[in-house]
Structure formats: structure tokens, C-alpha cells
A and B are shown apart, each in its own frame.
Chain A
């Protein structure tokens, strides 16, 4: 994490509080425009933290997901005036103005809520997250560690998968068949070795942890989780904004 910004300095829990505030506001509003504004505010926060570029792939993925979400929903809402029909002769695929608004609203709500997650992940070292959760929220250490360790293993597994793919290719295994069924069946010879390797790895890690006193009893921590004046300010601002916006929305 090379870029340091005010976002990086904040306590992880402050960022979680911000995320919760965004979620609350997202549920308060029922119109697409304020939700678009809310989503924009999340992206502005990312921009201010200098991580917009880093999280762009994640945001793009969320947008695609929202698009699929709209496609599935839009034809199911029959109320309101017809805007257009996909196949006019059969009356199939009718899209109404109510449906269009409702789907856009839902998609934007989802986008605003979920976009906070990559912002938090990109600005918080997992270790800080563990410490904050264990110290401030009293989450058992084992659960926090489990979560973070699984995150740490993702790049290792990617590397491993790459190796297995190479090995299978070297033995003339066809991974790029055009037939979708053969392609799906082709996953098995990749997944099986990956699973076995992961189990082996997990075992080694467990042994390595045992030999370094894991589970010896009460533990100390190198880092500590602190709330600064900035954290207090951000949390207060989030509370105030949430309250104000919810009042406006319900008026």
C-alpha cells in the first residue's frame, strides 16, 4: 500500500461506520437521482483517498453485475405505461416506466452500498482490520485470523493454478475446447490438484503455527487499534449526514 492518505490513517472501524452510513442512506431514498448522488459521493471519497484507479476494476465488475440485475428484473414489472416492447407482435418483453425507474433505483442502491467495500479493502492492511475487530469489537482472534489468512492465500493459489494449467498443457491437455461441456469437464483436472495442494499447504501452515505457540492462551499484539480526533470527526460527520439525509428522504 504505497499511497498514504487520510483514508489510510483512519481506524478500520471508522471506515466500516462510513459504509454503514452509506447503506442506511441508500435504503432511505427511493428515487434514482439521490442514489446516483450517493454513489457519486462514494467514488469522490475514493478519489480523495487516491485509490479510485486501484478499485476501478472492482467498480467495473459491480456495474456489470448491476446491469445483469436490471436485465433480469425489468421485464417482470407490469405496472405503469409501456415504454417499449422487445417483440411487439407477441407482447413479450414489455418495459414500463415504473419498471425502468424501480430497476434503476435498485441497481444504483446496490452500487452505492457495495462500492464502499473495495474502498475499505484498498485502504486497510488486513492486520489492522484484525486488530480493530479483536480489540474494539471483541471478535475472537481465531475468526479474524481465519478471514485474513484466507485473503493472504489468494495470490498463492493463483500462482499454483497457473502452474497446474501449465503442467496439464504440457501434457497436451485441451483446455480451450469450443464445446462448453468439454470445457466444463476440463476444470476437474485443474481443480483436483489445486484442492490437494491447498490441503497440503493448509496443513503445513497449521503445523507452522503450532510450533510458534498458536493457541498458547492469552496473547498480546504488536499493533494496537486507536481512534484519533480525525476518526471521531469522521464518525460524527457520518452520523450527522445520515440523520439529515434520512430526515430529508422521509419528509
Chain B
């Protein structure tokens, strides 16, 4: 088994002037090349956890803390944020506020300039990052003319240009329409599959997350309450209800069927799986009790 690239040991964090722990006794190990979905209700500590990973906590955001966070062998408490920048890339929720430059090219150059990458290599890396995100055509466009989805892609490309081994995304789709959200999510899947990038995706929309990630971590009131494959997590009725997880409609249907005693198998996460299960229950599509034909 590979050595974890991210190791969080007994990590507890209090924001200044706060009596309640934002994170309490977190233990989490993530291996290189994993694609982890992180979910939970608002205020569960998801954002705090990402800030602990990229070193913003405790380097930039102070507070009381205990425990240790190690990223690629470096303790985040003693490594400056700028050092971590080449290892762990971060993308945030607000497409507007996280961009600093005027044009797409300058935005991608910003991080590379900070890390003193030579000019020729910088050009090559910008070209590559734009290709990875498939926005080569936007290179010389001013950021003010881009849509929210495009801006978010630029933010991802800007992180990718630094060639980090890990990418942490804090609800990158929360301000996007469903179509752009899906594009972003597919993009991340490609990053993970083709470049072996370790990805941690924070996402409230479990229906987007569940079919995508092999591993889902649920946070609730600063604690990890579940860490398993999405299907196993969604199997826990009480947990789903308590956290108010927004689960895929097809999964809801089969949970209802199961509660009624009509279904006993694994919960499907995608419509296609659901259709197969229905066929098995009711006979092939287009016959008898299941007259509608799958497209």
C-alpha cells in the first residue's frame, strides 16, 4: 500500500473568539491518485478542512489548533503557504474573487511568476494548462468578459499550471449552472484518470458527487461521520437524514423501494444503473409491467 500523500492526525481547530471547534479530532489519510469527495451540511467544517490542507491554516488564518497536517511529507504548520503552492493547488467557490489578473494568460502566469519559473517554461506551462482544461481559445481574453463557468475553468487552469500533485476544490460548482457544473466535474475526473492527480472535491450536491468519486467523506459539526464508498454512505438511512444529504433521485427511489420491502440489492447512484435494476425487478424493458423503453 502506498504511503499517504495527505495525513491529518488528530487535528482540532478553533477560530479565534469561537468556543465551538470548527474541526474536532480529524483523522484522515489520502493516498496519491485518490479522488475523494468531501460533503456535509453548511458549517460542518468542510472549508476549514481545505484551508488546513493548503496551509492557510495556520499560516494565514490564526486560531487555536492541535494535531498535525502533513502534505507530501511536509508539516503545513512549519511550511510557508508559498512552498505548498507547487504541491497542492486550490480552487475556491467564488469565481470572481479568486482571480487576480486582467486576462486569462496573465492569470495563469501569476502563480508561475510567484514561483520564479523562467519565462520560456512559463509559456509552455500556460499552453499545457489551457489544453488540459480545454480553454486554449480563451488565452488572450479579458477575464471580465468570461462567464462564471469559464472563470472557474480559468481558476482550475491557474492551479494546474503550477503542476501540483494534489488539487483541492472548495465547492467549485456552487455558483454555476448544471451544465457548467457537469463540465467541471468531468474535467476533474480526467485530471484524476489521465494525470494521476490526487483530487479532493468539496461538494454539497451529493447527486453530482456520488457517481463520480470512489470515496466519500462526510463531515458533521467538525467531525468525520462517514468515510466510505458513496453507495455505502448512502445506505445509512439515519446518516442521510441527519445530515440532510441531497442524494440522487434514482437512489431515493430505490431507498423507498427497499423500505417497502420490494428491493434488496445495492443502491444505484446513476440512472443507467437504476434502469438495469428495474429491468431485473420487472423484466426487460418494453414488456409487461415495465413498458417504457430505455433510450
A contact set with B: CB distance below 8 Å: 125-127, 145, 148-149, 152, 155-156, 200-202, 204-222, 224
A205 touches B98 (CB 8 A): yes
In the complex, the answer to whether A211 meets B81 with C-beta atoms within 8 Å is yes
Q: A204-B97, A205-B98, A213-B85 are in contact. Are A219 and B116 (CB under 8 A)?
A: yes
Asked if residues A218 and B81 are in contact (CB atoms below 8 Å), the reply is: no
The reply to whether B82 and A213 form a contact with Cβ atoms under 8 Å apart is yes
Which residues of chain B are within 8 angstroms of A219 by Cβ–Cβ distance?
113-116
The A/B interface has a contact count, at CB < 8 Å, of: 114
**Bound-complex Cα distance A67 to B45 (A):** 58
Task: Tell whether B111 is near chain A: CB-to-CB under 8 Å.
Answer: yes
B residues lining the A interface (CB < 8 Å): 51, 54-56, 59-60, 80-86, 88-90, 92, 94, 96-103, 105-106, 109-119, 122-123, 126, 144, 155, 158-159, 162
B155 to chain A: which residues have CB within 8 Å? 208
Q: Which residues of the partner chain A approach B144 to less than 8 Å between Cβ atoms? A: 155
Q: Closest Cβ of chain B: how far from A146's Cβ, in Å?
A: 11
Question: Which residues of A sit under 8 angstroms from B119, Cβ to Cβ?
Answer: 220-222, 224
Apart from A205-B100, A208-B99, A213-B115, list 15 A-B contacts with CB within 8 A: A126-B102, A145-B100, A202-B97, A204-B94, A205-B97, A207-B92, A210-B54, A210-B56, A211-B85, A212-B158, A214-B114, A216-B82, A219-B114, A220-B117, A221-B119
**Inter-subunit contact B82/A210 (CB<8 Å):** yes
Question: Which of A125, A205, A224 is packed against the most chain B CB atoms within 10 Å?
Answer: A205
| Contact (Cβ within 8 A) B60 A216 | no
Q: Bound state CA distance, A207 and B158, in angstroms? A: 14
Docked-complex contact A212 and B106, CB < 8 angstroms: no
Q: Are B113 and A222 in contact (CB under 8 A)?
A: yes
Least distance between B232 CB and chain A CB atoms (Å):
32
Point out the residues of chain B lying under 8 angstroms from A213, CB to CB.
Answer: 81-82, 85-86, 111, 114-115, 162
> Which of A218, A221, A224 counts the most B-chain CB atoms under 10 A from its CB?
A221
Q: Residues of B contacting A209 with CB < 8 Å? A: 100, 110
Nearest B residue to A217, CB-CB:
B116
Q: Are A222 and B122 in contact (CB under 8 A)?
A: yes
A204 touches B98 (CB 8 A): yes
* Chain A residue, CB-CB nearest to B56: A207
Q: List 21 A-B contacts (CB under 8 A).
A: A127-B106, A145-B100, A149-B100, A152-B101, A200-B97, A201-B96, A204-B98, A207-B90, A207-B92, A208-B90, A209-B110, A210-B56, A211-B56, A211-B85, A211-B88, A212-B110, A213-B85, A216-B83, A216-B85, A216-B116, A220-B112
* CB nearest neighbor in B for A126: B102
Q: Which residues of B contact A212 (CB under 8 A)?
A: 85, 110-111, 114, 158-159, 162
Instruction: State the Cβ distance, B104 to closest chain A Cβ, in Å.
Output: 12
**A155-B143 Cα distance, complex, nearest whole Å:** 12
- Minimum distance in angstroms from A8 CB to a CB of chain B: 14
CA distance A126 to B118 in the complex (A): 22
A156 to B90, CA, bound (A): 22
Contacts of B101 in A (CB 8 A): 127, 152
Evaluate contact between B94 and A201: CB separation under 8 angstroms: yes
Is B81 touching A210 in the complex (CB atoms < 8 A)? yes
In the assembled complex, the Cα of A82 lies from the Cα of B94 at a distance in Å of 64
Which chain B residue lies CB-closest to A222? B109
A221 to B105, CA, bound (A): 12
What residue of chain A has the Cβ atom nearest to residue B111's Cβ? A212
Partner of A215, one of B89, B114, B118, B162: B114
**A211 with B122: CB separation less than 8 A:** no
Residues of chain A within 8 A (CB-CB) of B122 are 220, 222
- How many angstroms between the C-alpha atoms of A224 and B90 in the bound complex? 28
CA distance A209 to B54 in the complex (A): 12
Residues of B within 8 A of A204 (CB): 92, 94, 97-98
B90 and chain A: residue at smallest CB distance: A211
Decide if A211 touches B89 in the complex (CB within 8 Å): yes
Chain B residues whose CB sits within 8 angstroms of the CB of A127 once the complex forms: 101-103, 106
Q: A214-B82, A215-B82 are in contact. Are A208 and B114 (CB under 8 A)?
A: no
> Most A CB atoms within 10 A — which of B98, B99, B126, B162?
B98
Q: How many Å lie between the Cα of A149 and that of B100 in the bound state?
A: 7
Most chain B beta-carbon neighbours within 10 Å: one of A145, A212, A215 = A212
A210-B82, A212-B159 given; A221·B113 CB < 8 A: yes
Q: A209 to B98: give the CA distance in the assembly, Å.
A: 8
